[in-house]
């Protein structure tokens, strides 16, 4: 066989890539219930649950009765249901449309969380409609999953978090997303307590010292969206788009929900218009949970949040709290369409829920609050995700079959951040209106049902007339992030741009990859622009004339790829950095740092860009300095323990201190929110980098506040408390700890916990670690303390050793939920490590303690440790040489 020419070889590769894209696209079929993966067979379909729960916040257990109306699609020897840590308290019976009531025998499979219900008479269950009746008992949990308790004494309340696989801890069920059914829920609770669920209450009937609250039936929905809460609440009410709104808070905090009420009144009608589908339920409640749970959950009609993510306290909330609250509201309310009205077919497709909610959260935040510069700040999260995606510890957005025991691995930055970024890139490629029409058609067709990626691309393709499936599959069905290399040449008086692609790796020694993407590359040269679809190895684009500025790739910054310029072009872009559009400055800074970390660009080139930051004026300046701060912290972690670390800190102070001086310490009336946010961040960063003047000023303001001489403004609290906590004396530490133990809100607790954890005195940090097991803090805060110490970096080894030694006790506090939990205890404590041996130790320890469910979390942090270790000598050399 003769040797292939280069041209012939490229043709073969291009053909292979095309065939691969076709195969991947064909692997994204439209939703088919029978072919949807899951543990449960598809031969029995739940139609309706009638669920009665006996709930008392003062009890350690709860009682329940469930009647499940179902249809057997064929004669069955038994029924299979999910149930976990439930025990029956009476006979389990089955009644058919025609026929006598029969007893069912339970054959439990505790390891798989399954009950096999077998007819005691040995006869099969006939095809047709039946009703299974079960009375049972379960336990109330202390961590934020299943049915869990919050608080103590008379103020104790109950709430639920059933995503992903915790509905089975509340009631026996078909606990997989494809099994939608109507839920008729009733809750019996002590008189005087308020009860809420997904739907409006229809009636309340007294029953001695109890009251039975019966709720209207839900639309068909998956089991994980069921929600109940019981307790003493203060309420704030309103309306939006004719929908009654209600916010439930701990007593005395309803006024802090006013910001969230106003945001919801903007978001609900906005989404109604955008999706072309009105909000589907007759009410929307949102509850602020004062502890225990982390994150938020989009339960249909009753969204729950950790209170720090829903409430805004004018006296204590930091300058970023309103934007965090707005973004999370936008995310969870978007789920009322993405996830609830249309549900992902299985956990394999959960990105359809979460990526779209993330994309919509950013879109809505930018629409209503353009002054926040949301796209520029989103760059920081995308950078972190790209760093993971450039390592071996990544996965595809659609990563294939998902083991139920590791569903939590899907609720990560690949699903949320990469998924949202890829959707933003597709929206830019198709056009905003075309993208919206495709989504609206998708919603109309799949409402009250399930969907797969194939459904989405079908409607996007119809709306655009393009092969969206093939392009999208190259992003959703393979891991990694591409690197686009741009070369320019002058040919015949025209500027010819040649683009090439390869997989970007953070490992400089990684073998080349044959992966290819269909990349819509947006090019900009002066006022001229073009979008080139780079589907194979290379593509070309011509611009008129050879003069003028270099060509920018990923203009506007919405592409999920890295860009590498020729050295001459990069030098020109660096010199003209201050003239670039804000998004292009951010993207260039981001790509340059990533390339320097990977050894593909000298660190000196990145440091030269940092030097240009002060010249960048106008919109986006705050986001640029925040982005630079993230990079400097990463470099500081990589260089920890080396003499050159002090040179880095000098350089950081030289860059950041003049910016704080420009802003001043006093919040000015009417100042831009970006300046208010940046000021607090700069104070904390400069304290980390040992700026004596900033540390002294922070201490003085902290002391004046404590003495009652001058109250510390809310906008300065995150920066000042963080700075004081890092350099705390015994007296300052004691004051911070007393404030933490007395704090009346979650936002305040997290702020003070972070401040204490950042300390640089070993004896005081040992006291912080001990506090995690003292029983004086809510379990979510307590279990997070060692990780906060580890993330601060100074005593990471001590935090890690503590977490390993006390893993069982901390795991009991953390639980196993999808938003943190026990699998993150060791990885969080190891976050600032920079030694490959520490990465290997983490992986081994995690396997021993957390088993297979902890593999992904440990691998992610181990990859970050390896990246720091690899960049450590290169960054040190650049700083030592004065680059």
Sign of the dihedral defined by the CA atoms of residues 621, 624, 630, 636, in that order: negative
For 602, phi then psi, to 5°, come to -60, 140
Half-sphere exposure at residue 649, Cβ-oriented, CA atoms within 13 angstroms: 19
Question: Given a cut of 90, is residue 14 above it in pLDDT?
Answer: no
Question: Do 829 and 789 meet the contact criterion of CB atoms below 8 Å apart?
Answer: yes
- In this prediction, residues 456-479 reach a mean pLDDT of 94
Q: Which helix (H) or strand (E) holds 340?
A: none
pLDDT in tens, 780-811: 899 999 999 999 989 999 999 999 999 999 99
Q: Say which CATH class 728-883 falls into.
A: mainly alpha
pLDDT tier at 15 (50, 70, 90 boundaries)? very low
Question: Do 583 and 557 meet the contact criterion of CB atoms below 8 Å apart?
Answer: yes
Strand partners, 65: 52, 135
Q: What angle do CA 814, 307, 270 make, to 5 degrees?
A: 120
Specify the CATH superfamily of domain 44-334. tricorn interacting facor f3 domain (2.60.40.1730)
CA distances (Å), origin 217, targets 185, 221, 542, 752, 803? 7, 11, 61, 43, 45
Give the pLDDT confidence score for residue 619 in this predicted structure.
Answer: 87
Tell me the percentage of the chain whose pLDDT exceeds 90.
83
CA distances (Å), origin 465, targets 434, 462, 642, 712, 723? 10, 5, 57, 58, 55
Give the pLDDT confidence score for residue 27 in this predicted structure.
Answer: 63
Could you tell me which CATH number the domain at 481-593 has?
2.60.40.1910
Q: Which helix (H) or strand (E) holds 574?
A: helix 567-575
Distance CA 116, CA 481 (A): 44
Q: Residue 210: how many CB atoms within 10 A of its CB?
A: 17
For 78, phi then psi, to 5°, come to -165, 165
For 679, phi then psi, to 5°, come to -55, -50
Q: What angle do CA 241, 242, 245 make, to 5 degrees?
A: 90
Distance CA 660, CA 652 (A): 12
What the block records as the tokens of 308 is: 């720090």
Q: 13 or 339, which is more confident?
A: 339
Which regions of the chain carry the CATH code 1.25.50.20? 728-883
Q: Please, which residues have CB within 8 angstroms of residue 781's CB and are 6 or more apart in sequence? A: 291, 749, 750, 753
The residue among 684, 690, 683 whose CA lies nearest residue 665 is: 683
Strand order in the sheet with 519-525: 528-534, 519-525, 552-553
User: Any idea which residue has 């026996």 for tokens?
Assistant: 172
pLDDT tier at 55 (50, 70, 90 boundaries)? very high
Which regions of the chain carry the CATH code 2.60.40.1730? 44-334
Distance CA 486, CA 730 (A): 56
Please spell the DSSP secondary structure of 736-755, one letter per residue.
HHHHHHH--SHHHHHHHHHH
The residue among 132, 117, 119 whose CA lies nearest residue 69 is: 132
Task: Tell me the residue length of the chain.
Answer: 883
Burial bucket for residue 97 (CB in 10 Å: 0-12, 13-18, 19+): exposed
Distance CA 628, CA 613 (A): 9
Distance CA 733, CA 463 (A): 60
* DSSP tag of 221: B
- Find out whether the peptide bond into 82 is cis, omega within 30 degrees of 0: no
Q: Residue 759: how many CB atoms within 10 A of its CB?
A: 25
Q: Residue 844: how many CB atoms within 10 A of its CB?
A: 11
Which regions of the chain carry the CATH code 2.60.40.1910? 481-593
Give the pLDDT confidence score for residue 4 in this predicted structure.
Answer: 30
pLDDT in tens, 718-768: 999 999 999 999 999 999 999 999 998 899 999 999 999 999 999 999 999
Q: Which helix (H) or strand (E) holds 148?
A: strand 146-150
Is residue 160 helix, strand or coil?
strand
- In this prediction, residues 254-261 reach a mean pLDDT of 97
Question: Given a cut of 60, is residue 819 above it in pLDDT?
Answer: no
Distance CA 433, CA 412 (A): 29
Burial bucket for residue 242 (CB in 10 Å: 0-12, 13-18, 19+): exposed
pLDDT tier at 194 (50, 70, 90 boundaries)? very high
What the block records as the tokens of 341 is: 């009205």
Residue 69 annotated as catalytic = no
Question: Do 853 and 815 meet the contact criterion of CB atoms below 8 Å apart?
Answer: no
Give the pLDDT confidence score for residue 353 in this predicted structure.
Answer: 93
Of the candidates 332, 354, 684, 732, the residue annotated as catalytic is 332
Give the pLDDT confidence score for residue 236 in this predicted structure.
Answer: 98
Is residue 548 helix, strand or coil?
coil
Q: What angle do CA 500, 504, 506 make, to 5 degrees?
A: 150
Question: Do 533 and 550 meet the contact criterion of CB atoms below 8 Å apart?
Answer: no
Question: Do 804 and 845 meet the contact criterion of CB atoms below 8 Å apart?
Answer: yes
Question: Given a cut of 90, is residue 66 above it in pLDDT?
Answer: yes
Give the pLDDT confidence score for residue 99 in this predicted structure.
Answer: 76
What the block records as the tokens of 463 is: 């709306």
Q: How far apart are the first and last CA of the chain?
A: 52
Give the pLDDT confidence score for residue 679 in this predicted structure.
Answer: 95
Question: Do 290 and 151 meet the contact criterion of CB atoms below 8 Å apart?
Answer: yes
Q: Which helix (H) or strand (E) holds 869?
A: helix 855-880
What the block records as the tokens of 240 is: 């939006």
* DSSP tag of 337: T
Tell me the percentage of the chain whose pLDDT exceeds 70.
96
- In this prediction, residues 135-160 reach a mean pLDDT of 92
User: Any idea which residue has 């901390």 for tokens?
Assistant: 810
For 750, phi then psi, to 5°, come to -65, -40
Distance CA 234, CA 213 (A): 18
Please provide the average confidence, as pLDDT, over all residues in the chain: 92
Give the pLDDT confidence score for residue 289 in this predicted structure.
Answer: 94
Question: Given a cut of 60, is residue 605 above it in pLDDT?
Answer: yes
Q: Residue 66: how many CB atoms within 10 A of its CB?
A: 20
Helices 746-757 & 779-792, crossing angle to 10 degrees? 30
Give the pLDDT confidence score for residue 23 in this predicted structure.
Answer: 43
Q: Please, which residues have CB within 8 angstroms of residue 312's CB and are 6 or more apart in sequence? A: 256, 258, 259, 260, 321, 322, 325
pLDDT in tens, 494-550: 999 999 999 999 887 788 888 999 999 999 998 899 999 999 999 999 998 888 889
Distance CA 231, CA 208 (A): 18
- In this prediction, residues 191-212 reach a mean pLDDT of 95
pLDDT tier at 58 (50, 70, 90 boundaries)? very high
Using the CB atoms, write b or e for 170-202: b if 16+ within 10 Å: bbbbbbbbbbbbebbbbbbbeeebbbbbbbebe
Half-sphere exposure at residue 421, Cβ-oriented, CA atoms within 13 angstroms: 29
């Amino acid at each position: 066989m003769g040797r292939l020419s280069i041209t012939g070889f490229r043709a073969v590769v291009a053909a292979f890539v095309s065939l691969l894209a076709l195969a991947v696209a064909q692997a994204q079929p439209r939703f088919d219930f029978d072919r949807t993966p899951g543990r449960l067979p598809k031969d029995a379909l739940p139609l309706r649950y009638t669920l009665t729960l006996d709930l008392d916040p003062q009890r350690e257990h709860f009682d329940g009765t469930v009647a499940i109306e179902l249809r057997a699609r064929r004669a069955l020897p038994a029924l299979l249901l999910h149930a976990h840590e439930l025990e029956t308290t009476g006979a389990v019976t089955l009644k058919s449309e025609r026929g006598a009531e029969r007893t069912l025998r339970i054959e439990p499979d505790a390891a798989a969380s399954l009950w096999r219900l077998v007819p005691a008479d040995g006869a099969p269950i006939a095809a047709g409609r039946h009703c299974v009746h079960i009375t049972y008992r379960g336990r109330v949990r202390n961590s934020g999953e299943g049915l869990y308790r919050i608080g103590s004494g008379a103020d104790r309340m109950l709430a639920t978090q059933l995503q992903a696989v915790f509905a089975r801890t509340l009631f026996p069920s078909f606990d997989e997303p494809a099994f939608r059914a109507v839920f008729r829920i009733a809750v019996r609770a002590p008189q005087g307590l308020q009860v809420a669920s997904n739907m409006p209450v229809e009636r309340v009937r007294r029953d001695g010292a109890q009251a039975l609250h019966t709720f209207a039936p839900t639309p068909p929905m998956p089991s994980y969206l069921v929600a109940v809460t019981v307790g003493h609440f203060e309420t704030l009410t309103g309306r939006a788009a004719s929908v009654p709104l209600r916010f439930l808070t701990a007593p005395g905090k309803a006024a802090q929900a006013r910001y969230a009420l106003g945001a919801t009144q903007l978001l609900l009608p906005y989404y109604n218009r955008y999706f072309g589908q009105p909000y589907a339920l007759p009410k929307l409640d949102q509850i602020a949970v004062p502890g225990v749970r982390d994150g938020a959950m989009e339960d249909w009609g009753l969204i729950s949040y950790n209170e720090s993510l829903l409430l805004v306290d004018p006296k204590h909330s930091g300058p970023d709290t309103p934007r965090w609250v707005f973004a999370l509201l936008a995310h969870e309310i978007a789920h009322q369409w993405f996830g609830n009205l249309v549900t992902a077919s299985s956990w394999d497709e959960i990105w359809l829920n979460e990526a779209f909610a993330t994309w919509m959260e950013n879109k809505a935040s930018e629409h209503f609050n353009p002054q926040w510069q949301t796209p520029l700040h989103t760059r920081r999260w995308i950078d972190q995700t790209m760093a993971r995606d450039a390592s071996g510890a990544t996965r595809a957005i659609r990563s294939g079959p998902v083991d139920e025991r590791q569903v939590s691995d899907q609720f990560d930055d690949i699903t949320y951040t990469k998924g949202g970024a890829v959707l933003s890139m597709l929206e830019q490629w198709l056009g905003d209106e075309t993208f919206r029409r495709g989504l609206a058609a998708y919603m109309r067709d799949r409402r009250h049902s399930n969907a797969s990626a194939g459904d989405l691309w079908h409607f996007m393709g119809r709306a655009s007339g393009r092969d969206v499936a093939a392009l999208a599959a190259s992003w959703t069905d393979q891991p990694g992030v591409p690197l686009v290399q741009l070369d320019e040449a002058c040919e015949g008086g025209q500027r010819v741009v040649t683009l090439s692609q390869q997989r970007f790796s953070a490992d400089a020694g990684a073998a080349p990859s044959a992966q290819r993407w269909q990349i819509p590359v947006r090019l900009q040269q002066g006022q001229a622009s073009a979008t080139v679809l780079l589907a194979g190895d290379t593509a070309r684009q011509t611009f008129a004339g050879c003069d003028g500025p270099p060509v920018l790739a990923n203009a506007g910054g919405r592409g999920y790829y890295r860009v590498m310029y020729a050295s001459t072009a990069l030098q020109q872009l660096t010199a003209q950095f201050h003239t670039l559009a804000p998004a292009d400055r951010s993207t260039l800074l981001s790509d340059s740092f990533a390339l320097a970390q990977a050894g593909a660009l000298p660190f000196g080139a990145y440091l030269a860009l940092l030097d240009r930051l002060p010249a960048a004026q106008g919109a986006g300046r705050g986001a640029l300095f925040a982005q630079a701060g993230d990079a400097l912290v990463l470099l500081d972690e990589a260089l920890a323990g080396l003499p050159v670390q002090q040179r880095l800190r000098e350089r950081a102070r030289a860059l950041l201190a003049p910016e704080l001086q420009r802003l001043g310490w006093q919040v000015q009336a009417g100042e831009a929110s970006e300046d208010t946010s940046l000021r607090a961040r700069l104070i904390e960063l400069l304290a980390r980098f040992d700026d004596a003047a900033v540390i002294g000023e922070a201490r003085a303001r902290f002391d004046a506040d404590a003495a009652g001489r001058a109250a510390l403004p809310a906008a300065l609290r995150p920066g000042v408390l963080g700075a004081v906590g890092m350099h705390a004396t015994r007296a300052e530490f004691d004051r911070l700890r007393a404030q933490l133990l007395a704090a009346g809100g979650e936002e305040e607790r997290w702020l003070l916990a972070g401040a204490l954890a950042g300390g640089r005195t070993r004896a005081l940090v040992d006291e912080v670690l001990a506090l995690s097991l003292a029983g004086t803090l809510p379990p979510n805060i307590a279990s997070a303390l060692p990780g906060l110490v580890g993330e601060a970096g100074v005593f990471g080894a001590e935090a890690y050793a503590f977490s390993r030694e006390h893993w069982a006790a901390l795991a009991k506090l953390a639980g196993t939920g999808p938003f943190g939990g026990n699998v993150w205890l060791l990885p969080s404590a190891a976050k600032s490590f920079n030694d490959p041996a520490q990465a290997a130790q983490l992986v081994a320890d995690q396997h021993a303690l957390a088993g297979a469910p902890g593999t992904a979390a440990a691998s992610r942090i181990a990859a970050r440790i390896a990246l720091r270790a690899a960049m450590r000598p290169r960054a040190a050399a650049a700083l030592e040489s004065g680059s």
